[in-house]
Structure 1
Amino acid sequence: MKSKISRKTFQSRLDEMVLRLRQDIANARYAPGSYLPAESALAEQFHLSNKSVRKGLEQLAEEGLIHKINRVGNRVAEPIGQRKTIVTMGCPSIIERDLEMARLIADFQEQYPWIEVRTVTYAAESSAASSSFDKMARSYLENGLMDVMVLNNSQFQEMVEADAVNLFEPLPINGEMYPFVMSPFTDNGEMYVQPVAFSPIILCYNRQHFREGGLLEPDSSWTWSDVLQISDRISKPEDRYGLYFHLLSENRWPIFLLQSAANADASADTNANASSPDHEWLNGARVVQEITQNRRIYPGYITESRDDVNTLFLQGKVSMIMSSYFSMNEFKQASIDYDISPLPYLDRPATLLIILGMAISRSSKNKEAAKLLTSYLASHRAQQQLRDMTLSIPVVKTIAEQRPSSAAGNELNRPAHEAMFRELFPTFRLHKHLQLTVAEQHALRNLLKRFWSGIIDEKMLIDEFTQLQQSFTPQ
């Protein structure tokens, strides 16, 4: 009995045919005005059915590369002078490091030589003072200044809360991706952002420091109490500190609240709620205070960004940091001997999931070219390059869970437990699991900053946050 060909194998052959024909047209192997081989010949060459071949040729026709002439064949289109379609992509300034975006864009433009991608950069995180990402996004999208926008799941949440998802074009679901990277970009059954890469927040540590102290390396059993004890033993006054992290990052401080719960077996849907009567999240706030006020293990250095933390770690000034696979790209060419483990926990294991994706402006005048770009970044070709060139985790499951394919990818300074992310899936949480709007999260952050600085006590913290929540509640 003939075995059934998997859908994955079929799709890869179809993708190969389209890519090969596209390259042959770009390289003038098939000159303008000439005809492609017959559908039957292409079917035999790429081991596809005639129906599948026609599907691929229709894609090339939509791209303007060929004209389908009934009962004659598929003629290569004449080039339109030297004019290119310009796709403007808005992205955080740090995206080059996290995704090697320049190299991906260069590869994309090699596949689609009639498209030029131009980038506009903006801050990686929303303003600490107010929820402002949606305002920035609106100004760009409504004025037609961006065709494609890179954003994370927290920023998409802000767009949903601002009733602004209508600015984005709905996108198709990709069954090859982890489901958990798509659902945070979905609203009312429609996905509006194409996921590209993801990362949990993890603990990153200097292995040499642990060997010097004769200490066992961190593992998933560690609590924050364990970290405090080990940090005290590994710290060397005026030389190095045991622990550090950029506390005010929107991807750091919420973790302590998400790990706080009266019921350690609570599900992801009943996470720490900052508005609960018992104020369970205070456990996390107290732990942060205990850590950051201990000047033996935690430096009093005022960071401006996560880059400051990475610099101290590379200099050997701190032994453990809260990090992400994205941030570890700072170490991929360094000589530091480091590894990773799950974050220590408080009442229960939990970590934040950060997902980067691309949305298409619904008002884009170059929508077809923009769709080609987003589709490319989710393709096996781009996802494999992402796996080979960075430490960021691709969203296509089969590629994320295999070793890098290139020699260059294997030469990067990768942590020994790089594949650990697969064991953390049950602990993944999102900002929205705080059950606060983005605006409320910003307000709580500013109050916690005052609490951790000793300006207000716990009672004042609770009272002021209760008043703030009342001001956010519609009358």
Structure 2
Amino acid sequence: MQSKPSRTTFRDRLEEMVHSLRTEIVTGKWQGGDFLPSIQQLGKQYALSINSVQKGLDQLVAESLIERLPRIGIRIKERTEHAVITITIGYYPSLNSDADFTSLIELFQIKYPHIHVQTIPLQYENYYETTSYYLNNEIVDVLAINQINFQQYVEQHDNLGEIFEPISAASSIYPYLPSLFQQNNQLYAQPFIFSPVILCYNKKQLQEQQMPEPSHDWTWAQFMVFIHELERKDPTKLAFYFYPATNNRWPIFLLQSGINFQNDKSERADFSDSAVIDSIQTCYDLIHRHNLFSNLLMSENDINVEQLFAEQKVSIMMTTYFNLNKTQHIDFPFDIAPLPYVHTPRTLLLSIGFAANRKSKQKEAAKAFISFMASYEAMLHVRQRTYSIPAHMQAAEWEGEERAYRPQQFELYRQISHTFASLSDLHLKQDESKQLLNIMNRYWMGIEEKETLIARLKNDLGVY
């Protein structure tokens, strides 16, 4: 007797078919050597088109649960061929707060009981050296990788297809994300979560001081007038705080210069151009407007910006949706706003994706893991339980009852997507980036004058 689909949407019917067949195979209802019903029968049973059934069966083939025999049918593989296997995931520990990663792994293993997941934490420091060793020695099957670490691999390898398994972009992801993980137009990491760099402000403190909320179109000069007035009214707090000496912050000011940085060295923009100097000077002015602020920023240890914000010692901070996850315990209202700009509105687009090791012996299981992490189910979990933005558009834009406080302007990222830029837009190699930061740091710390800064930008970086 034909069973009716228990859910009504196409996506749910497809997931129901795959889940039901997978469960029946793993639990032994279907034995090795048995043949599944025909594609046409499965289509009628689950109210799916032939192409949709094929797509679902492709997933089970990838999991090594079934095999296609041309002109014969679809056969269940012997249990010894789909016994429990283990894959190892190299991940950033921050994913536990950024994406509730531990719970996602549990959901994956419920759906894929024949795949056991092990995890290895990765550190941002020496990421490339460590992960290269893990990949080459087949220690990891899947690697979490952000756009900065991905560019390290691009810089070191002409053909990433020798390192990572080429993949296709998942459906329904935001169109500006794949380019962060591509080489020669080929995708090597599936986008998972993302965030622009933004402002976050304490609504209560601004209201108490009868100050307006940050504008969506301020320049940094206008913003500095605002924070000066805020600190005049309440000198016991820092009006604004950020940590500039990180690759997720200082490049923003250069991107906001409006200079078109070119790949071709002969056409490269002049880093001593007045617009670039304006950007470096803006960062200098933000740092030096308060001596305590200056000393904190130039120290060796990064003071936790979000911690100071949570303690209400800072009224406005430069942060990300990722780092907002550290504020979930606070008991005062806050909201977000776009970054002010120097000459051109720009902000950094940050993202984390998953890549499969080309040398993995469990490649199909690794692909199944990445596919699950890109699924609507996993992405919706991220949206409902964190402030991080899922790469899946439909999940990110889900509307329903919120589990906890959410900023009123949470969907700001959709309004400012035209301002997104990446570190790769500067076309700086890793050693050049470090050299540039060193030059700027010497100026920001007051060790060198502006004239020396300009001379070093011209001579040390070899720009034209």
Query: How far did residue 68 of structure 1 move?
Result: 5.3
2:71 corresponds to 1:79: no
Deviation at 1:49, TM superposition (A): 3.3
Query: Which of 354, 358, 365 is equivalent to 1:362?
Result: 358
What SS does the corresponding residue of 1:301 show, helix, strand or coil? helix
More displaced 10-residue stretch of structure 1: 46-55 or 286-295: 46-55
CA positional deviation for 1:398: 2.0
Matched to 1:396, the amino acid is H
Q: Does residue 239 of the first structure (1) align with residue 236 of the second (2)?
A: yes
Residue 448 of structure 2 corresponds to residue 444 of structure 1? no
How far apart in 2 are the matches of 1:160 and 1:218?
A: 38
Equivalent residue, structure 1, for 2:17: 17
- 2:255 aligned partner: 258
Alignment of 1:36-115 (within 5 A): 36-37=36-37, 39-50=39-50, 52-66=52-66, 76-80=76-80, 84-115=84-115
Matches within 5 A, 1:413-428: 413-428=405-420
1:337-394 residue CA offsets vs partner (Å, 9 max, x unmatched):
1000000111121100001101111111111111011111111111111111111111
- The range that moved more, 392-401 or 132-141, is 132-141
Q: Which amino acid aligns with 2:390?
A: P
Q: Deviations over 1:36-59 (max 9, x none)?
A: 555444222211234543453343
AA at the equivalent of 1:233? E
d(CA) in 2 for partners of 1:429, 1:197: 16
Select the residue among 280, 288, 311 that pairs with 1:285. 280
What CA distance in whole angstroms lies between the structure 2 residues aligned with 1:94 and 1:33? 44
Conserved? CA contact 1:89–1:150, under 8 Å: yes
Q: 3-state SS of the aligned residue for 2:45?
A: helix
Deviation string, structure 1 residues 157-213 (Cα, Å, up to 9, x no partner): 221111162311111133421121001211112111110111100000000110001
Aligned amino acid, residue 371 of structure 1: K
Bigger mean CA deviation after superposition, 430-439 or 236-245: 236-245
TM-fit CA distance, 1:74: 5.0
The 3-state SS of whatever aligns with 1:281 is helix
Task: Give the unaligned 5+ runs of structure 1.
Answer: 1-7
Residue 383 of structure 1: SS of its match in structure 2?
helix
| Distance (whole Å) between structure 2 residues aligned to residue 170 and residue 459 of structure 1 | 48
SS at match of 1:218: coil
- Aligned with 2:448: secondary structure? coil
Percent identical pairs in the alignment equals 33
Q: Which runs of 5+ in 2 are unaligned?
A: 1-7
Instruction: Using structure 1 for the length normalisation, give the TM-score.
Output: 0.86
Structure-2 separation of matches of 1:304 and 1:367: 42
Distance 2:308 2:269 in 1: 32
In structure 2, the residue matched to 1:457 is: 449
Q: 2:142 maps to which residue?
A: 148
Preserved CA contact (<8 Å) 1:213 1:233: no
Distance 1:287 1:418, change over 3 A: same
Deviations 1:107-150 (A, max 9, x none): 011111111221212223xx5xxxx5433332221122211111
Q: Is 1:380–2:372 an aligned residue pair? A: no
C-alpha contact (below 8 Å) 2:181/2:187 kept by paired residues: yes
CA distance in 2, matches of 1:277, 1:225: 21
CA distance in 2, matches of 1:294, 1:442: 25
Aligned residues of 2:199 and 2:337 also touching (Cα < 8 A): yes
Letter in structure 1 aligned against 2:359: S
C-alpha separation in 2, matches of 1:233 and 1:26? 66
Query: Partners of 1:138 and 1:337 in 2: how far apart?
Result: 43
- 8 Å contact kept, 1:232–1:297: no
Counterpart-to-counterpart distance in 2, 1:13 and 1:467: 63
Q: Distance in 2 between matches of 1:102 and 1:257?
A: 37
Q: Distance in 1 between matches of 2:397 and 2:147?
A: 22
Verify: 1:139 aligned to 2:139, yes or no.
no
Matched, 1:402 2:398: yes
1:341 maps to amino acid: A
- Summarize the Cα distance change of 1:177–1:285 in structure 2 as closer, same or farther, 3 Å threshold: same
Find the residue that maps to 1:411 and give its secondary structure.
coil
- SS of the residue corresponding to residue 316 of structure 2 reads strand
3-state DSSP of counterpart to 2:387: coil
**2:354 match: secondary structure:** strand
Within the candidate set 427, 430, 444, 2:422 is matched to: 430
Task: Give 1:432 shift.
Answer: 1.6
Counterpart CA distance in 1 for 2:256 and 2:88 is 40
Answer with 170-179 or 376-385: which moved more: 170-179
Q: Structure 2 CA distance, aligned partners of 1:298 and 1:332? A: 25
2:201 to 202, 205, 220: 205
User: What does 1:175-324 align with in structure 2 at a 5 Å threshold?
Assistant: 175-235=171-231, 239-261=236-258, 275-276=270-271, 278=273, 280-295=275-290, 298=293, 300-302=295-297, 308-324=304-320
2:293 corresponds to 1:336: no
Mapped contact 2:254–2:280 kept (Cα < 8 A): yes
Q: Is the 8 A contact 2:65 2:82 kept in 1?
A: no
What is the CA-CA distance between 1:241 and the residue it aligns to?
0.6
Cα distance change of structure 1 residues 325 and 273 upon mapping to structure 2, 3 Å threshold? farther
What's the secondary structure of 2:304's corresponding residue?
helix
Residue identity matched to 2:164: F
Matched letter for residue 153 of structure 2: M
From the superposition, tell whether residues 274 and 142 of structure 1 become closer, same or farther in structure 2 (CA, over 3 Å). Answer: farther
Deviation, structure 1 residue 267: 10
C-alpha displacement of 1:401: 1.9
Tell me by how many angstroms 1:307 deviates: 6.8
> Hey, what does 1:3 align to over in structure 2?
none
Match of 2:4 in 1: none
- How far did residue 461 of structure 1 move? 2.2
Q: Tell me the alpha carbon deviations over residues 301-322 of structure 1, each in whole angstroms, 9 at most, x when there is no partner.
A: 3566767101000000000000
Given that 1:66 and 1:77 are in contact with CA atoms closer than 8 Å, whether structure 2 keeps it comes out as yes
Q: Is the 8 A contact 2:194 2:349 kept in 1?
A: yes
- Give distance in 1, aligned partners of 2:268 and 2:108: 43
